[in-house]
Chains A and B, each alone.
Chain A
Amino acid sequence: MAIFVLVNTNHYDIKKYYLLQNSMNIIPQLILNSIIAGALYSLIALGFNLIYGATKFFNLAHGVMAVVGAYTVFYFTKILSVDFYFSIVLAILLAGLVGYGLDKLIYLPLRRRKSSNMVLLVASLGVFTAIQAIIAMIFTSQFQTLSKNNTVQKTFEIAGGIITQTQLIIILSVILITVGLFILLYKTKLGKAVRAISDDENVAKIVGINTNKIIGYVFFIGSAIAGLAGILVGLDIGIQPTMGLGLLLKGVVAAVVGGMGNLYGGVLGSFLLGFVENFGIWKISGEWKDAIAFVLLIAFLIFRPKGIMNSTRD
């Protein structure tokens, strides 16, 4: 190929050669970028779908659980100087507890009152805004970093693409959590109850399942996963009280594309979204990235409204 360049002094040909070469080099990194993005969206979509499956309402407060998780780690490590890994465990538990508490304090009374899902959605939006505002008041709305120090992260090269340690951990977490949720849902009694509630809450109640208790657990698990997502985003990128909305939006798009309430649909949707977003701007300018994500959403809403995994029949 070098000879090719030397022989062809024509500027245009050289440019074409460069473009060809460029396209080849960029693919592994684009694949990795897509996987990283998809993994992040999955972490949000998993918990979101778990909660949606059990309660059938759009829990917008899910996004702010990520913020709770991230800021708990920030508080413990940077302000109280608690051990890093211990803080992460604490933060995940706390995010779960906040989710559990919200269910008991706000959503459960509303469900008891037979409030419509629209009321629950508005309530969760209120929760989202309130918690975000409280966090902004305590920690200021400045952008912060979670990583232990400001030095460069360890990077690995995979098939010509570069990935950082945190990003590897993100991908591993998604695999672990997806497998973990599968075991929980299909191999345990709790899982059976959750699936029963997802199928039909009233029937589940009739057969003697304490649905409110189980939904409480679902909130705990879903919110804890969101908390982990927030921490990992914080380690990879950084944290801000407003980070929840962006995460939630992408997670919800992934959940809708994959199939609302369907856990594995959510994961598939997330990776589809990640790939479409990153490969979508391969040949066109990067400013279209978000537009592409929402075009995907609209396309699914029109042509396959129940998502990849859920069949279209009612």
Chain B
Amino acid sequence: MNKTTKWIVGIVVVVIIVFVGYYVSKGPSQPTSTEPIKIGVVAPFTGDAGALGENVKVAIEIARDEINQAGGVNGRDIQVIFEDGKCNGKDAANAATKLINIDKVLVVMGMCSAETLAIAPLAEQAKVLLISPSSTNAKVTTAGDYVFRFIPSDSFQGKFAADYLINTLGKKKIAILYSLNDWATGIKDVFKQRTEEIGGTIVGEEGYQQESRDLRSQIIKLKELNPDAIYFLGYTEATIVGLKQMQELGVTTTIFGGDAWDDPTIPQKAGAAANGARYSIAANQQLPQSFLDEMKKRPGGEAMNSYSPRAYDILKVLAGIISETGDNTDKIKNALYKLKDYQGIADKYSLDANGDIETANFTIKEMQDGVIVEL
């Protein structure tokens, strides 16, 4: 490279930097009223719990399409940007950083508890709202002022599960098999505490890496403790494998799981190994037929889980609030804290001072011959 080319390259670089800097700084300072309202979604689309994320995406797209077809929010379209958080904190934080800094979204939705908890400090710092349809970890309650969720906390679910296993089913000796992630460890802690309070015993607990697909040694250790029930907290993939390996290794005790089991692919793929396995999940109302039909029509929508209608509700709530407050984050935040008895398709939502929903209704579902049945 001779001196002249160096100069030319230098000048080109400077010009590019100036132009980029000019437009980036100019961009957000002149929002026109026709610009779309951007909402980011961080959910697992690949890897663990990917099927849950795909399904939630379809529900959000339905809500978006309905809002936009009805004329949008104050004439502005809703634009939803989906990013893969892979159900872990690291990828979720990267995805959220991109959504907040580059896409300049108004709201981020987080799905897995690990995702939401990793995004919370970023959202808090950037003063971006973070709303989850599905993160049940108890820590989300105190994760920040800008953090909301439309599903009951595990501080209720863990208690509910312990009460159900010990008081309703009469199981006293419980073994726990859990995935090493925020969701499973969070619910496990509450469950353990409640179990001991009401006279049950935790005979053993075994953890496994979220991505692990060989749980045999953990299972055989728990089996030898002769528990009355195994509380198995895993995401879809490890659950399918774990249920099969339990069957192969001759485990015949009651198997009970948590809300992440609300994925129809589990009974489909685990087959007979999933028969009789039960789990607790936030109770949804009877969903409108039009929504169910629309979900079935779209690819990825058929395998419906309980989070999807809640994600749909969040977008509808937001559209309603933004149409009154405009895109001012703090005004939206204040309106969310005041949300009272909003009738969505999945639930009636009222948010408390922590941004949690006030009600906590759970139901028990069971896997039977390839399908999930509500008991």
Q: Would you give the 0/1 interface string for B50-70, flagging 1 where the beta carbon is closer than 8 Å to chain A? A: 110010000000000000000
Enumerate 20 A-B pairs (CB-CB under 8 Å) in ascending A order: A26-B224, A29-B217, A30-B217, A33-B220, A141-B46, A143-B50, A143-B236, A144-B269, A150-B270, A150-B272, A150-B370, A152-B272, A164-B248, A238-B269, A240-B47, A242-B211, A246-B213, A281-B206, A289-B208, A290-B209
In the complex, residue of chain B having the shortest beta-carbon distance to the beta carbon of A164:
B248
Q: Would you give the 0/1 interface string for A232-253, flagging 1 where the beta carbon is closer than 8 Å to chain B? A: 0000011011110010000000
In the complex, residue of chain B having the shortest beta-carbon distance to the beta carbon of A40:
B214
Among B54, B237, B271, point to the contact of A240 (Cβ < 8 A): B237
Among A155, A246, A281, point to the contact of B217 (Cβ < 8 A): A281
Cα separation A182 to B318 with both chains bound (whole Å)? 66
Q: Hey, which chain B residues are within 8 Å of A140, CB to CB?
A: 50, 54
Q: Hey, which chain B residues are within 8 Å of A287, CB to CB?
A: 180, 206-209
Contact A281 B218, beta carbon cutoff 8 Å = yes
* Cβ-closest 7 pairs across A and B: A150-B271, A287-B207, A286-B218, A286-B206, A141-B46, A22-B224, A143-B237
Q: Which of A143, A144, A152 has the most CB of B within 10 A?
A: A143
Count of chain B residues near A, Cβ 8 A: 39
Cα separation A71 to B207 with both chains bound (whole Å)? 29
Contact B216 A33, beta carbon cutoff 8 Å = yes
Contact A150 B209, beta carbon cutoff 8 Å = no
Q: Closest approach, in angstroms, between the C-beta of A234 and any C-beta of chain B?
A: 11
Contact A152 B240, beta carbon cutoff 8 Å = no
Among B51, B220, B224, B250, point to the contact of A142 (Cβ < 8 A): B51
Q: Which of B51, B214, B240, B248 has the most CB of A within 10 A?
A: B214
Contact B217 A278, beta carbon cutoff 8 Å = yes
B221 contacts chain A at the CB level, 8 A cutoff: yes
Among A30, A145, A242, A289, point to the contact of B47 (Cβ < 8 A): A242
Cα separation A286 to B175 with both chains bound (whole Å)? 13
Please report B residues at the A interface, Cβ cutoff 8 Å: 45-47, 50-51, 54, 180, 205-209, 211-218, 220-221, 224-225, 236-237, 240-241, 247-250, 265, 269-273, 370
Contact B50 A142, beta carbon cutoff 8 Å = yes
Contact B46 A241, beta carbon cutoff 8 Å = yes
A10 contacts chain B at the CB level, 8 A cutoff: no
Q: Hey, which chain B residues are within 8 Å of A136, CB to CB?
A: 46
Among A26, A37, A241, A282, point to the contact of B214 (Cβ < 8 A): A37
Contact residue range for chain A?
35 or more
In the complex, residue of chain A having the shortest beta-carbon distance to the beta carbon of B268:
A150
Contact A152 B273, beta carbon cutoff 8 Å = yes
Contact A242 B212, beta carbon cutoff 8 Å = no
Contact B224 A238, beta carbon cutoff 8 Å = no
Q: Which of B205, B217, B273 has the most CB of A within 10 A?
A: B217
Q: Closest approach, in angstroms, between the C-beta of A250 and any C-beta of chain B?
A: 10
Contact B240 A143, beta carbon cutoff 8 Å = yes
Q: A162-B248, A237-B214 are known contacts; what are 7 more A-B pairs with Cβ within 8 Å?
A: A29-B216, A29-B217, A29-B220, A151-B272, A152-B272, A238-B269, A286-B218
Q: Hey, which chain B residues are within 8 Å of A26, CB to CB?
A: 220-221, 224
Q: Would you give the 0/1 interface string for A274-292, flagging 1 where the beta carbon is closer than 8 Å to chain B? A: 0001100110011101100
Contact A33 B217, beta carbon cutoff 8 Å = yes
In the complex, residue of chain A having the shortest beta-carbon distance to the beta carbon of B266:
A143
Contact B213 A238, beta carbon cutoff 8 Å = yes
A36 contacts chain B at the CB level, 8 A cutoff: yes
Contact A238 B237, beta carbon cutoff 8 Å = yes
Contact A162 B250, beta carbon cutoff 8 Å = yes
A25 contacts chain B at the CB level, 8 A cutoff: yes
Contact A238 B225, beta carbon cutoff 8 Å = no
Cα separation A4 to B247 with both chains bound (whole Å)? 32
A210 contacts chain B at the CB level, 8 A cutoff: no
Q: Closest approach, in angstroms, between the C-beta of B328 and any C-beta of chain A?
A: 37
Q: Hey, which chain A residues are within 8 Å of B180, CB to CB?
A: 287
